[in-house]
Amino acid sequence: MFPPPHKERLFKNRNRLKASREVESVDLPNCHLIKGIEAGSEDIDILPNGLAFFSVGLKCPGLHSFAPDKPGGILMMDLKEENPRALELRISRGFNLASFNPHGISTFIDSDNTVYLFVVNHPEFKNTVEIFKFEEEENSLLHLKTIKHELLPSVNDIIAVGPAHFYATNDHYFSDPFLKYLETYLNLHWTNVVYYSPDEVKVVAEGFDSANGINISPDKKYIYVADILAHEIHVLEKHPNMNLTQFKVLKLDTLVDNLSIDPSSGDILVGCHPNGQKLFVYDPNNPPSSEVLRIQNILSEKPTVTTVYANNGSVLQGSSVASVYDRKLLIGTLYHRALYCQL
Structure letter (DSSP) for residue 343: -
Q: Does the annotation place 176 within a ligand binding site?
A: no
Q: Is 113 one of the annotated binding-site residues?
A: no
127 in a known ligand binding site = no
Q: Is 131 assigned a ligand-binding role in the annotation?
A: no
The reply, when asked if residue 298 is annotated as ligand binding, is no
Instruction: Check if 231 is active-site.
Output: no
Task: Give every CB contact of residue 24 below 8 A, 6+ residues apart in sequence.
Answer: 310
Q: Are 96 and 119 in contact (CB under 8 A)?
A: no
Q: Binding residue per annotation — 312?
A: no
Q: In DSSP terms, which residues pair with 114 in a beta bridge?
A: none
Distant-in-sequence, close-in-space partners of 283: CB < 8 Å, separation ≥ 6: none
According to the annotation, is 311 in a ligand binding site? Answer: no
Distance CA 219, CA 300 (A): 15
Cα–Cα nearest to 101, from 77, 81, 74, 79:
74
112 known member of a binding site: no
Residue pair 203/151 in contact by the 8 Å Cβ criterion: yes
Residue from 6, 64, 103, 172 carrying the catalytic annotation: 103
DSSP per-residue string spanning 241-278: TS-EEEEEEEE-SSEEEEEEE-TTT-PEEEEEES-HHH
Q: What is the DSSP string of 146-204?
A: EE--TT-SSEEEEEEEETTEEEEEES-S--SHHHHHHHHHTT---EEEEEE-SS-EEEE
Spatial contact of 293 and 305, defined as CB atoms under 8 Å apart:
yes
Find the DSSP H helices in the chain. Answer: 5-16, 177-185, 276-280
Q: Are 252 and 268 in contact (CB under 8 A)?
A: no
Binding positions: 42-43, 105, 156-157, 212, 257-258
Catalytic residue ranges: 103
Binding residues for Ca(2+): 42-43, 105, 156-157, 212, 257-258
